[in-house]
Every structure is written in structure tokens, then in C-alpha cells.
Structure 1
């Protein structure tokens, strides 16, 4: 529901829940002061306005105690704004004071219990630089705790292509809550995430609210860092169960992870939901070159798909197209052609050697 629906009278709007009168209501109030009363038809005639709009303006003025209530047989007359201000503000000030007392009480009681909870449950204390959790629920609780205390920035790497809609929906609320508090949010996806409708919808909403999202060809693993002080690194997934995570607060390690994030961020491309065709073509070419490079390293189709965050079937389709384009009838022949055409850098060739593969034995 939009602001106009919540406050429809006299063109008013809501700002942080406080109503503002529209121009018509303010002008009508001035005419009522001159005439000593507020009569809908008289005000409408004087202003050349529709009676219905003037009636809405009157209701808005009455809601703010600037006009007397409508009582049969009595005229509606202007009231003193200073008295109206006292009538409206006093209950709000009382409510704010009460909320502040409640907030203070909650902080005092829960912080008193927090140290005891950590000590008894073995949770991370301030002097424990790395804690590993196997239970995914414990990881979520620690992430919630870090998010609630986050004041400046959240950085995250999300490998694996597009994310499931249910995970995006949960993260959407958390991300918007951080943005409302003025926290800078930066997210890195892989290029393949751009083909996911759910991910594109999520990115469109969070970027409209101020988040920054970029994509790169490859991401090694998922990572979340809050305020450059605490990082979450997932454990290797086992038996199809959600993995646990290591919670890292050691400054040297967290600093290294932040620098690694910044390095990848600098080469990332902004995730433009309404990008130009030329941009998509360039990204597709980057994905193609990544596949060629990983083929030359001797990696299997499933491994290449996982590295690039795409389905194995999609990856095989790309590999078949590349081999057909080269005129290769086997992965071995494709590897030879890649080497001969100079499509690999020295770093790629070095990686192939470390893997125990060369462009001559690729795919064996």
C-alpha cells in the first residue's frame, strides 16, 4: 500500500508516519480563517475546486484538530494550531518515551544474559578467533547475531549461479532491513546468475534500495563478512545436508578475506537487470573463454559446471558447441587446438602443469 492510500486527504502524504497537509488543505484553512467557518460548498466556490476534494481537505484538517468536529446544527470553525499541536504531539512524545524505556530494559536484561549463554553453550566469545559449527541452525543464529549488530557494511560472495527463490525471499528481508539502517550492502554473483529470473528480480529490488551487485565469471566459495570484523566461511557440504560454517573474528584473517573480496569486486561487472544486448554478448563470451580455459586444465564437465555456477547439462551444451566450432571430434583434440591457437595465458598453462595435465592430454 502506498503513502497516498494511507493518507488520501487533501493530497497529503506520509513521511516516517507523520502526516503532512496538501496544498489544497492549507489554502482552504486560510479561507476558513477569513470567513470564520469551513463550509464545503463555500470553500469550493471560493477556490474554484471540486466539492469532493474540498470535503477530503476538511477531513484532513479535522484529523489534525485544525477544525472543529462536524456536529449537526453547528458550524465547523478553525481551531488554534498551537492547541492542535499539543493535542497531537503529547501522545507521541509519551509513546516515544515509553518505547525508549522498553528498549533500554530489553538491552539491559538480554545483554546481562548473553555472557552466561555464551559461556554455557560454548558459543564464540570475544577472545575466540575461529569457531566451527556443524549445526546449520547454530550458523543461522550466529549470522542473525552479526546482522543485528552490523552498522556499516555487509560483503558477500554468492557462488553457484542463480539462487533458489525461497532463499532469495528470506535474504531479501534481511538485506532490505540492513539498507534501511544505512548499512552498505555489496554482493558478488557469477555471470551465470544473470539467467535466473528469481535472482534478477531480487537484484532489481535490492539495487533500487541502494545495494550494489556485481558478477564475475568464477567464484571459489561463498563468503559473508559483517563490518569487516566477522566472516562466515561454509564447510564442505556432506551427504546433501546444509553445511555448517566457520565463524572467523581474527583480525588478520578477516582483513585478508576483505582484501580478497575487494580484488574480485574491482573486476566484477555491475549487475544491470536491463542491460544492453552488447553487454550480454560480452558476458557470454567471457563464460565461453572460462569454459575453454577449464577444459584445457583437464577438468571434467561436472567440475567445470560447478566452477561456473551452471547446470551440468548446460555446460555440456557449451562444450559441444565449442568443439563443433573448433572442428574437434574429442576433448583430446580440442585441447590440442586450444594450445595451438594461443587461447591460454601463461598462468593457465602453469595451472595445467600443476594439475598434471597439458593441452596434449586434456580430457583423458
Structure 2
């Protein structure tokens, strides 16, 4: 009960009640009424009618700080309503008084036994006063619990659907980091492949153990009528185990081609499931890891990328004669020249062309000697200019290029000014005396 709803008279009356076991309204009037009020004794003695106009004014209002009869009646009703006073049954305290008094409403008690009142411990009063509210809260809590249980009963269905959606998303793209698991998945997809297998394998020749693992699986697919197309890099032609594998599968109907650069390592089974080499957050390849792709749009993109590589690739010959070897070597050197002009590092060029870094550096050294270049970048630019792939507008600074040799420039067919001349050597594709190209 807020403080402003408790009257001062009720507080004085409760303090009076707390000092005794029980009291009557008349006793409260006697104790709390004005000491000089002549109507107070009469009221206390008679305990009857206390209507306005009798006993010295309306309700014997407080004089000298006392509490009038009417105020006592109102305070009594206030405390009873708040549960701070309780009625004591007749004879419960041994008094058994039967005199008139002021009722809880301030009216006369008549001939009935005078009501006696006792203070109620405030915490007990609070418990009693709050009991109905607590009951309403309890019922509201029960309703909340029922509503919660009803709504949460739908949770299993939602969670099952969410789990299925998560499985569907994870099924579209799945990262496998264990090499054994990757090999097992490839074997499984190969066994279930019915129409076509597309393979793009950069990096030059394949390892012998990899080829031995693949040959039996590939022969089974070819025997089932599965079409197989594979793209390697040109350097794979010089790898004897890879050439032997190609000869064996092409005899059964497989098609194999090679390309200089721009391959992405991947496999596509029946144009439905693809595997690509996985890379970490820094872009470096994850050893032995693969990303499984089942999302149709991504698989279609992978297939289109393979078809572009296939269209620009050349058939893989089972035997490589001198003329073909020179042609391939010249193609590799042209690719090296282009990458040198782009400022690509040796190890990156080697990786992109599927050769060892040592072999790549040997090719670069031969190119530099052939064009008389002092730096890798200059070698790429001069060789490209000699073959018509670089314009004079992009010539390197004059102080970084060697002095042009007119005779050599004429032999190279440059003749386009200082930027297009080749100093001290042959154009790209030429050979220094006594040396032959090597893949």
C-alpha cells in the first residue's frame, strides 16, 4: 500500500494496537482523542451515537493534536481493509466486555458485544493482501507456460527442416581435406559415372603411383562406354609414365590433349559433380584437399572452362618426333616470354607450365642469351618485340637496354626503331650456336 494512501490517523491507531493484545474502538478514542475534549469521556463511556453536532462539534475533531471519533472509525476501517487489524472473537482474550462502541465504519455498535481488534504482523498482512495478486500471477504464469509449450512443440519440425536445408547447402559445396577421403570419393564417383569424365590436370607429368591407381579405374569406365577427355600441359609429353598411360587409354577410346598454360585442376563427372583443387584463405593450395561441387550452376561453369581449354589444346601424341619437340619447345618459350614480360616470378612460371623451377630457369637463361638481355623483364620485352608481340610504345628505358646491333637487328627483322631492335642476339625462337631447345 503506497505511503500516501495511509492516513496519519491510521498509523497512530496501528501503533496503539501494536502495544496491546486487543482493544476496542472506545479504548482507542480514549487513548488517542483530545485530552481536553469533554465529548471524549462521554463517547468512551457510552460508546453509542456519535453523530455530528453532539459532544462539542462535528466528529469531535482533533484539538491539541488528538484523533476524533470519526477519524478513529475511518482509521479502523482503513487498517481492517489493509489486513493490519483483525477482529478478536468474543472472550478470546478473556475480557468478555459487552459495552457499546464505535464500529469499524465509525457507527455505533448497538447492543452487540463490543468488537475487539488486534494488530496483525505486517508481513502476514502483506502475504494476505498479496495472495489474490499472487494467484493471478500464478494463473498468468501457467498460461505463459502452456503457450510456450504449445509453440515449442513445433520446434522439432523446424529444426529438422533447418538441418535438411543445411545438408542441402553443404551438399552443394563440400571441402574434403583428407587425401585418402579424396581418393575414395574419386573412386566412388568413377564407379558411378555413366556418360562422361572431363579431367584437367596442370603440372606436367603425373606421378607413377597416381597413374597406376588411375589406369585400372579408367579402363573400367572406358569399357562401360564412358567418354573420357583429359587436358594436360605440354610438359607432360616429355614424361614417359604419363605418355605410356596416355597411349594405353587412347587405345581404348579416351581423348587426351595438351595446353601450354591456363589450366585449372579439376574433374567433372557426368556434368553433375565436380572436384577442384582447394585453396586456403591466403590463396595457397591445400595439399591433398579438394572441393566437391554439386551446385548445377558451378558445375556448368567448370564444364564451360574445360571446353575452352579443350578447344585451344593440341592432341597428345604417343610419340614425340624432333620436329614436334621443337614446336612444343617453341610454344613453351613463347609462353615464358609472355610471362616474363608480365613480371611473373620464375617459380610461378614453372608451376604454371608444369615444369621444375630449374628447367624453367634454364629456358629463361637461353632466352636472355638469345636476345642479349640484361634482365628477365628486358628479355621478355625484347623477345616479344622481335616476334611482333610488343609495341615500341612500351619500350624499357634506354639506359636499361643494351646498345642495338644493326646487323643483328636486320637478321631479326626488327627494323622498327630503337625500341623494336634486338641487341646482340637472335629473335625469340632462335637457338644460340650449338644448343637445341628442350621441353
TM-score (norm 1): 0.58
- Give the 3 Å change call, closer, same or farther, for CA 336–219 of structure 1 in structure 2: closer
Match of 2:228 in 1: 185
Instruction: Give the structure with higher Rg (CA).
Output: 2
Alpha carbons of structure 1 residues 291 and 127: separation in structure 2 relative to 1, 3 Å: closer
Query: C-alpha root-mean-square deviation of aligned residues, in Å?
Result: 2.9
Distance 1:239 1:156, change over 3 A: closer
Distance 1:194 1:338, change over 3 A: same
Q: 1:304 aligns with which of 349, 354, 360?
A: 349
Q: Of residues 200, 205, 209 in structure 1, which corresponds to 2:252?
A: 209
1:290 is aligned, of 312, 323, 335, to 335
Tell me the residue number matched to 2:361.
316
Residues 1:193 and 1:335: Cα distance change in structure 2 (over 3 Å): closer
Q: Would the aligned equivalents of 1:332 and 1:360 in 2 still touch at CA under 8 Å? A: no
Match of 1:156 in 2: 199
The alpha-carbon distance between structure 1 residues 127 and 317, as it changes in their structure 2 partners (threshold 3 A), is closer
More divergent stretch after superposition (278-287 vs 125-134): 125-134
Q: Per-residue deviation at 1:345?
A: 6.6
| CA deviation vs aligned residue, 1:10-49 (integer Å, no higher than 9, x gap) | xxxxxxxxxxxxxxxxxxxxxxxxxxxxxxxxxxxxxxxx
Match of 2:313 in 1: 268
Instruction: Write the deviation string for residues 262-310 of structure 1: whole angstroms up to 9, x where unpaired.
Output: 1111111111112443222221111110000010110111111111000
Residue 221 of structure 1 is matched in structure 2 by 264
Structure 1 pair 254/359, CA: closer, same or farther in 2 (3 Å)?
farther
Residues 136 and 359 from structure 1, CA distance in 2 versus in 1: closer, same or farther, beyond 3 angstroms? farther
In 2: Cα distance, 1:319 partner to 1:149 partner: 45
Q: Is 1:134 aligned to residue 215 of structure 2? A: no
User: Structure 2 CA distance, aligned partners of 1:294 and 1:321?
Assistant: 15
Q: 1:258 to 1:288 in 2, by over 3 A?
A: same
> Following the alignment from structure 1 to structure 2, what is the Cα–Cα distance between the partners of residues 255 and 240?
23
Q: Residue 189 of structure 1 aligns to a residue in which SS?
A: strand
Alignment partner, residue 242 of structure 2: 199
Aligned match for 2:217, one of 160, 168, 174: 174
Q: Structure 2: 5+ residue runs without aligned partners?
A: 1-162, 401-439
- Mapped contact 2:384–2:390 kept (Cα < 8 A): no
By percentage of residues, which structure has more helix?
A: 1
Of stretches 277-286 and 144-153 in structure 1, the one that deviates more from structure 2 is 277-286
Matched, 1:337 2:356: no
Whether contact under 8 Å (1:296, 1:359) holds in the other structure is no
Alignment partners' CA distance in 1, 2:200 and 2:271 = 14
Deviation at 1:188, TM superposition (A): 0.5
Note the 1:101-120 alignment, pairs <5 A: none
Change (3 A) 1:157 1:332: closer
Aligned equivalents of 1:125, 1:142: Cα separation in 2: 18
- SS of aligned partner of 2:174: strand
Question: What are structure 1's unaligned runs of at least 5 residues?
Answer: 1-119, 350-357
Match for residue 82 of structure 1?
Answer: none
Task: Give the TM-score taking structure 2 as reference length.
Answer: 0.49
What residue in structure 1 maps to residue 59 of structure 2? Answer: none
For residues 181-229 of structure 1, give each alpha carbon's deviation from its aligned partner in whole angstroms, at most 9, with x where no partner exists: 1101111100000110111111111111111110000143310000000
Q: Say whether residues 1:165 and 2:208 are aligned partners.
A: yes
CA 1:236/1:301 → structure 2, altered by over 3 Å: closer, same or farther? same
Task: Give the whole-Å Cα distance in 2 for the aligned partners of 1:320 and 1:288.
Answer: 11
- Conserved? CA contact 2:350–2:357, under 8 Å: yes
Is the contact between residue 223 and residue 234 of structure 1 (CA under 8 Å) also seen in structure 2? yes
How do 1:230-245 residues align onto structure 2 when only pairs under 5 Å count? 230-236=273-279, 242-245=287-290
CA distance in 1, matches of 2:350, 2:232: 15
